[in-house]
Amino acid sequence: MRTLVDLALAPEHRRGHGALYGGLNQGRIDVVRLRRALTGLPLPRAADGRLVLAVDVSPCRRPDANTCADRSFCHTFGRGEGKHQMVPGWPYSVVAALESGRTSWTAVLDAVRLEPGADVAAVTTVQIREVVERLVAAGQWQEGDPKVLVVLDAGYDAPRIAHLLAGLPVEILGRLRSDRVMRRPTRAGLRPQGRPSAQAWQ
């Protein structure tokens, strides 16, 4: 089954797809309990047993849903001859646990929909703090364990997030933009070359 309609058409279901969606609309998910349950499951880890969390924004594209509330422009890549595009939709900030090795396996621990104009660094900081606190409460991290490594892409203000998360058992690894200046003003006419580099903060 790939869609709810496929399920509604199964002989065992014996109801139309309208009844299926009606049942879903009357349902309820205890989000707080679900988040707590996810952090209590066995999680993928790095080769040394360390917890590694990746944070990124993933869009749910809704270009034709003109009546959907709170849509904003989501950055997408690979649509239309591989060009960067801004498509209307709902951006979600997702936190997932990663493991080492040649695998694409991740364990999603949290997802928050970003409101239009949201301060991404502020939302991400609160999200990471809450996830790490749930991991500690679930016994996934204990005193003496290596700090949880949080990996951020170049779109995040890693130094600011590291500062705001001071006091948590985390290390922030962020990719810096090639035009980022850390200590002094950029000379006029200077155009940085090369790929963004990675640097870690504690």
- 21-47 confidence digits (pLDDT tens): 676 777 777 889 989 999 998 999 898
> Is pLDDT larger for residue 170 or for residue 178?
170
Is there a single domain that holds both residue 24 and residue 54? Answer: no
Domain boundaries, position 15: 1-31
Closest to 134 (Cα-Cα) out of 43, 50, 55, 47: 43
Cβ atoms of 167 and 127 closer than 8 Å: no
Checking if the pLDDT of 197 tops 50, the result is no
Is there a single domain that holds both residue 26 and residue 107? Answer: no
* 109/40 Cα distance (integer angstroms): 10
Cβ contacts of 145 within 8 Å, gap of 6 or more = 49, 50, 169
Summarize the confidence of residues 154-182 as an average pLDDT: 84
Domain count, the chain: 2
Number of CB atoms found within 10 A of residue 17's CB:
15
Write down the pLDDT at residue 188. 66
Checking if the pLDDT of 10 tops 70, the result is no
Q: Is residue 36 part of a domain?
A: no
Q: Is the pTM of this model over 0.75?
A: no
Is there a single domain that holds both residue 19 and residue 65? Answer: no
